[in-house]
């Protein structure tokens, strides 16, 4: 059985998307990953890579007059969120797949996701809770669930989930930059659609906002949380600086977390960069943070250091 996944990204996240794809190659069985490219640079490069299992989709293929109007009133980031349900619908419409699973491009699989599909059973869709650690509970703003592993069956119930999600995402507007209707609407799904599956496996969606709430271990080189293999880790806030340093985000991270998750991630990103540059040796885009070159930025760094949330490491640290 071929699993069908989709994700989306622009050129600044392309290395991370390729790393996600390569982690599926290692950990999943037969699959296809549809990649919605949010700019022409990413789309052209993926087309040149010519993979049967990593399938590029240009964002223009999703545009209708209604979608174009939403694009005009949203920021680039907001429009990416708008496109999450749209690419799922596009894939179901054109691939003939019986199900599609949306993944975030800044995730990496550490073990086989089949265990999550086993838990899903015959449900029409899946939700993965944020599982916030107590000190980082942000449900009021970000919602109970995180958009990161959302499966939808190609049937009436699954399509109803997608239609409701699309309607919610169309409420994004640049006039309300801190409102997240597409994600907070997920809170309603278990009420509106009682048959939806809320994934309980602790290894689904391990992330900086919840990893402190788990007992962490490593078995046969695979990170475990609460005695279960980590299926995927969500590398929220990860990026680079112009000097090559790695930004791991503003949540406090232990050395064990860095060694278990971020070292393998940096290794995988280096391999992804090599793969991409074999296709285009001039490609040099990545998610990049501003250097400490303004008073405001330097004050932010000082605050993070004072709170022990400064997770910036030179590239040599991961060598």
DSSP track, 166-206:
HHHHTT--TT-TT--HHHHGGGGHHHH-TT-EE---TTEEE
- Into which CATH architecture does domain 3-318 fall? Alpha-Beta Complex (3.90)
pLDDT of residue 310: 85
Nearest to 16 by CA among 28, 7, 25: 7
pLDDT of residue 319: 86
The rounded distance, in Å, linking the Cα atoms of 218 and 145 is 26
With CA atoms as reference, report the closest residue to 9 among 47, 58, 61, 63. 58
pLDDT category of residue 16 using cuts at 50, 70 and 90: very high
Strand partners, 179: none
Picking from 143, 153, 157, 159, the residue whose alpha carbon sits closest to that of residue 195 is: 157
Residue spans of the domains in the chain: they are 3-318
Q: φ and ψ at 233, to 5 degrees? A: -115, 140
Tens digit of pLDDT for each residue in 259-269?
Answer: 999 999 999 99
3 token code pair: 């699993």
Phi first, then psi: what are they for 154, rounded to 5°?
-90, 60
Contact 231, 261 (CB under 8 A): no
Instruction: Please state, as a whole number, how many other Cβ atoms lie within 10 Å of the Cβ of residue 291.
Output: 13
- Residue range 5-28: average pLDDT? 98
Q: Which residue matches tokens 């993979």? A: 51
Task: Report whether pLDDT(296) > 90.
Answer: no
What is the spatial distance between Cα 170 and Cα 114, in angstroms, rounded to a whole number?
A: 32
Rounded Cα distance, 92 and 4, in Å: 9
In this prediction, residues 46-74 reach a mean pLDDT of 97
Burial class (CB in 10 A: 0-12, 13-18, 19+), 211: buried
Calculate the average pLDDT of the chain. Answer: 96
156: pLDDT strictly greater than 90: yes
Report the distance separating Cα 116 and Cα 212, nearest Å. 22
Residue 306's pLDDT is what? Answer: 79
């Amino acid at each position: 059985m071929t699993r069908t996944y989709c994700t989306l990204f622009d050129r600044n996240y392309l290395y991370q998307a390729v790393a996600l794809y390569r982690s599926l190659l290692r950990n999943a069985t037969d699959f296809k990953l549809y990649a919605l490219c949010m700019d022409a640079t990413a789309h052209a490069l993926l087309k040149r890579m010519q993979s049967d299992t990593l399938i590029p989709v240009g964002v223009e293929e999703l545009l209708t007059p209604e979608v174009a109007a939403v694009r005009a009133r949203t920021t680039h980031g907001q429009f990416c969120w708008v496109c999450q349900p749209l690419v799922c619908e596009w894939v179901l419409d054109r691939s003939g797949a019986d199900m599609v699973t949306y993944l975030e491009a800044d995730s990496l699989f550490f073990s086989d996701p089949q265990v999550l599909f086993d838990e899903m059973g015959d449900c029409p869709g899946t939700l993965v809770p944020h599982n916030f650690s107590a000190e980082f509970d942000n449900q009021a703003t970000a919602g109970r669930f995180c958009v990161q592993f959302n499966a939808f069956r190609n049937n009436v119930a699954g399509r109803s989930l997608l239609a409701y999600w699309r309607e919610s995402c169309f409420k994004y507007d640049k006039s309300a930059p801190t409102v997240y209707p597409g994600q907070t609407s997920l809170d309603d799904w278990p009420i509106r659609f009682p048959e939806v599956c809320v994934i309980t496996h602790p290894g689904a969606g391990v992330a900086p906002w919840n990893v402190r709430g788990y007992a962490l271990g490593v078995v046969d080189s695979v990170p475990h949380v609460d005695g279960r293999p980590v299926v995927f880790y969500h590398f929220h806030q990860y990026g680079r600086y112009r000097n090559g340093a790695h930004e791991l985000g503003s949540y406090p991270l232990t050395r064990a977390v860095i060694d278990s998750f971020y070292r393998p991630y940096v290794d995988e990103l280096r391999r992804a960069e090599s793969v991409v540059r074999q296709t285009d040796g001039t490609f040099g885009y990545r998610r990049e943070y501003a250097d400490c070159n303004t008073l405001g930025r330097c004050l932010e760094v000082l605050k993070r250091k004072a709170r022990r949330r400064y997770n910036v490491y030179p590239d040599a640290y991961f060598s």
